[in-house]
A and B are shown apart, each in its own frame.
Chain A
Amino acid sequence: MSKTLNRRDFIKTTSATTIGVATIANGITLTTFAGTNKTPVTNEKRWGMLIDTNKLSEIDIDGMVSACKKEQGWGSEVHSTGNQKPGWIKKLKVKDKATGKVSNLALMCQHCEEPPCVDVCPTNASMKREDGIVLVDKHLCIGCRYCMMACPYDARSFVHETLSNQKEHMPRGKGTVESCTMCVHKIDKGEVPACVTSVNSDAVIFGDLYDASSKINQTLKTIQSAQIRADLNLNTGVRYSGL
């Protein structure tokens, strides 16, 4: 290497190093966030949920909401009123205008493949994992709420007050945005989301949408299902049947 370092080489080397460091730094953040995960998350899986509104009773949905509150530690806010209260998952009653058929369903983050919240987030705090789970990095969120403006499912909440007694696996912070994490902390341990466990029937099926042998994949192949606001082409991870 007798060649002296010219300016172009210098810029090349420095850029490469910077990109390298940035990549590692990113990795660290994500690993910390995923917690106990030992194997890297890949896009070979796509986690999803199928909710059968014909089988799901109102009691089931109430159970799902309570299970989510208990697991993630939200719902005991004291100062927030009305629409200020968080709603990671909520019960909806929907009536068909033509037939009058009434359906009950649980609505939460739909874990879109093309999430508008991720597109609009200025700081990359809203992000989608390789396996399709959409999350908020609480360390990067500046609380601008643009993601809440962009979400077509009203799935996100803003923490309006100081919180205490938080769950260790789910730090929540005043002034940041939060939503259903599909219980990523459980999925990474090979478990199933809390709301799914709470339902004692196959009204809610959780699994890998890509895995041809999974129950969710096979069921979706045989029955008619729908995505909410399918017209937006977001390709949601949460699907509904019986709507």
Chain B
Amino acid sequence: MSNIRFEQIEGKILGFYALIAGLGILVLAALGSVYYMEHHGHFVTGMNNRIVWGMPHVFALFLIAAASGALNVASISSVFNKKLYKPLSRLSGLVALSLLAGGLMVLVLDLGRPDRLIVAMTEYNFKSIFAWNIILYNGFFVVVAVYLWMMFERRMNRFSRKAGLVAFGWRLILTTGTGSIFGFLVAKQAYDAVIMAPMFIIMSFAFGLAFFILILMASYQWTNRPLGDAVVNRLSNLLGVFVAAVMYFVAVYHLGNLYLAENTGVENFILFDGGIYTKLFWYGQIILGELIPMALIYHPATKGNRSTLGLASVLIIIGGLIQLYVIIIGGQAYPMELFPGKEILEGYGGVAQYSTSLPEMSLGVGGVALAIIAVTFLVKLLAFLPESLADDVDDPHHKG
């Protein structure tokens, strides 16, 4: 294992610059959208006083969840001491930091007053989950950066396990905080469930690993470095397990809610008669984002095939975005129960309408692009990637 050699990618080929340029255009488009939205005000978006968080929050929370999940590969190596994952640890930390940067960019730039970011950094209300999240997100950068440094610097290698443990603990608390943004909202029927915190953790496992696998396979493919089946198949199995776990939590969340009479309204809305939200839930989240990827990962006909694993990862990412859309937008669209036992005839109620606007979408996509640019640049700048992940290099016990 000590034979693993890390090396920067050359990045002199046309493809590298084309990738950076393409993603750069997306980031510029996002910044242009932000200028447009902030200059005119949020009336140019699809958001309103009922749907106060729109598409940017779907992307932001997705990326933040995925960020903490992407660190898992490193955690498995350092916390659970699985040697196979050790060569992947550096990339895992890098993907985690990059995704978080992308997510935070989207979150911050959708604020009504992003120019007051300094207020958010200096005025803390410690009863607010958001205030805690600001600390947790900033802390994540520091903790993972230190962890990476310990992995990079030979003299510090002996501390890397301890740093990995801290990072693992931190990311669990961070995702708990992200899930709790919704879990602690008593006002809305769709939220106010503590299960949202662990559900977000398991969602982060799946989304983060899907991103990680795509980035790993793409970078080895495009740089012509060997990537053995042992490591890819192991990651593929792990991804399948995570998706199954997400499905379990989704089932418990909805079945639990259905049991409570006060929540049957919103459950019927999401599961049966919510129009677009019901369609997105069943076709998008469950079938496209969970069942098909599971089939691609485990079916004997497609098992072990890199292309289908890539497709499964893409579907998990799309399904994850849809899942957050259903949670965030669907949860707001369903009216609050202002008067239990009464029907509101006028003045409030009904399903709130939302249709996303181009600038919102562009901001969200820009966040993803920023994350990928960061990874692309940094693997050229620093030695994040092992020059070979061939089976005999990565896994000495591999029988091939």
What residues of chain A have their CB less than 8 Å away from a CB belonging to chain B? 79-87, 90-98, 102, 107, 116, 118-125, 140-146, 148-154, 156-162, 173-177, 228-229, 231-232, 243
Q: Are A80 and B43 in contact (CB under 8 A)?
A: yes
List of 10 A-B pairs having minimum Cβ-Cβ separation, nearest first:
A143-B112, A175-B112, A83-B48, A92-B347, A152-B187, A122-B130, A93-B346, A161-B41, A160-B43, A122-B131
Q: A122-B124, A149-B187, A149-B332 are in contact. Are A176 and B112 (CB under 8 A)?
A: yes
What residues of chain B have their CB less than 8 Å away from a CB belonging to chain A? 38, 40-43, 47-53, 111-114, 116-117, 119-120, 123-125, 127-131, 134, 181, 184-188, 332, 336-348, 352-353
Q: A93-B347, A174-B41, A175-B38 are in contact. Are A141 and B48 (CB under 8 A)?
A: no
Q: List 13 A-B contacts (CB under 8 A).
A: A92-B344, A94-B343, A120-B184, A142-B117, A154-B336, A158-B52, A158-B112, A175-B41, A176-B113, A228-B339, A229-B337, A231-B340, A232-B186
In this complex, what residue of B is CB-closest to A103?
Answer: B342
Among A121, A145, A154, which residue has its beta carbon within 8 angstroms of that of B53?
A145
Q: Are A159 and B113 in contact (CB under 8 A)?
A: no
Bound complex: CA of A173 vs CA of B119, how far in Å? 16
Q: Are A229 and B338 in contact (CB under 8 A)?
A: yes
- Of A118, A125, A175, most buried by chain B (CB within 10 Å of CB) is A175
Bound complex: CA of A125 vs CA of B52, how far in Å? 17
Q: Are A83 and B112 in contact (CB under 8 A)?
A: no
Q: Are A87 and B49 in contact (CB under 8 A)?
A: yes
The number of inter-chain residue pairs (CB within 8 angstroms) is 178
Bound complex: CA of A176 vs CA of B42, how far in Å? 10
Bound complex: CA of A142 vs CA of B187, how far in Å? 22
| Chain A residues whose CB sits within 8 angstroms of the CB of B345 once the complex forms | 93-95, 102
Besides A152-B187, A160-B48, 6 more A-B contacts (Cβ < 8 Å) are A120-B127, A122-B123, A122-B131, A156-B49, A161-B40, A177-B112
Bound complex: CA of A121 vs CA of B119, how far in Å? 12
Q: Are B119 and A140 in contact (CB under 8 A)?
A: yes
Q: Are A150 and B187 in contact (CB under 8 A)?
A: yes
Bound complex: CA of A201 vs CA of B242, how far in Å? 63
In this complex, what residue of B is CB-closest to A234?
Answer: B186
Q: Are B348 and A90 in contact (CB under 8 A)?
A: yes
Q: A93-B347, A98-B341, A176-B112 are in contact. Are A148 and B52 (CB under 8 A)?
A: yes
| Chain B residues whose CB sits within 8 angstroms of the CB of A119 once the complex forms | 125, 127-128
Q: A160-B43, A161-B40 are in contact. Are A94 and B111 (CB under 8 A)?
A: no
- The dominant DSSP class at the B interface is loop
Give the distance to chain B from A94, nearest Cβ to Cβ, in Å: 5
Q: A122-B125, A149-B188 are in contact. Are A94 and B339 (CB under 8 A)?
A: yes
Give the distance to chain A from B255, nearest Cβ to Cβ, in Å: 23
| Chain A residues whose CB sits within 8 angstroms of the CB of B344 once the complex forms | 92-95
Bound complex: CA of A124 vs CA of B187, how far in Å? 20
Give the distance to chain A from B121, nearest Cβ to Cβ, in Å: 9
Bound complex: CA of A170 vs CA of B371, how far in Å? 41
In this complex, what residue of A is CB-closest to B346?
Answer: A93
Q: Are B187 and A151 in contact (CB under 8 A)?
A: yes
Q: Are B113 and A84 in contact (CB under 8 A)?
A: no
Among B42, B53, B120, B346, which residue has its beta carbon within 8 angstroms of that of A142?
B120
Q: Are B348 and A159 in contact (CB under 8 A)?
A: no
Bound complex: CA of A144 vs CA of B131, how far in Å? 11
Q: Are A120 and B128 in contact (CB under 8 A)?
A: yes
| Chain A residues whose CB sits within 8 angstroms of the CB of B116 once the complex forms | 140-143
Bound complex: CA of A45 vs CA of B129, how far in Å? 30
Give the distance to chain B from A99, nearest Cβ to Cβ, in Å: 10
In this complex, what residue of A is CB-closest to B37?
Answer: A175
Q: A122-B125, A156-B49 are in contact. Are A142 and B40 (CB under 8 A)?
A: no
In this complex, what residue of B is CB-closest to A233?
Answer: B186
| Chain B residues whose CB sits within 8 angstroms of the CB of A140 once the complex forms | 116, 119, 123
Bound complex: CA of A177 vs CA of B112, how far in Å? 9
Among A92, A144, A176, A177, which residue has its beta carbon within 8 angstroms of that of B348?
A92
Bound complex: CA of A158 vs CA of B119, how far in Å? 18
In this complex, what residue of A is CB-closest to B331?
Answer: A149
Q: Are A146 and B128 in contact (CB under 8 A)?
A: yes
Give the distance to chain A from B353, nearest Cβ to Cβ, in Å: 7
Bound complex: CA of A174 vs CA of B113, how far in Å? 8
Q: Are B120 and A157 in contact (CB under 8 A)?
A: no
Bound complex: CA of A166 vs CA of B352, how far in Å? 29
In this complex, what residue of A is CB-closest to B133?
Answer: A122
Bound complex: CA of A231 vs CA of B339, how far in Å? 11
Q: Are A141 and B134 in contact (CB under 8 A)?
A: no
Bound complex: CA of A79 vs CA of B130, how far in Å? 30
| Chain B residues whose CB sits within 8 angstroms of the CB of A158 once the complex forms | 42, 49, 52, 112
Q: Are A144 and B130 in contact (CB under 8 A)?
A: yes
Q: A82-B353, A116-B186, A148-B52 are in contact. Are A123 and B120 (CB under 8 A)?
A: yes
| Chain B residues whose CB sits within 8 angstroms of the CB of A97 once the complex forms | 341-343
Q: Are A154 and B343 in contact (CB under 8 A)?
A: no
| Chain B residues whose CB sits within 8 angstroms of the CB of A83 once the complex forms | 48-51, 352-353
Bound complex: CA of A85 vs CA of B340, how far in Å? 26
Bound complex: CA of A150 vs CA of B336, how far in Å? 11
Bound complex: CA of A98 vs CA of B129, how far in Å? 39
Bound complex: CA of A102 vs CA of B339, how far in Å? 13
Bound complex: CA of A122 vs CA of B347, how far in Å? 30
Bound complex: CA of A176 vs CA of B76, how far in Å? 43
| Chain A residues whose CB sits within 8 angstroms of the CB of B41 once the complex forms | 79, 159-162, 174-175
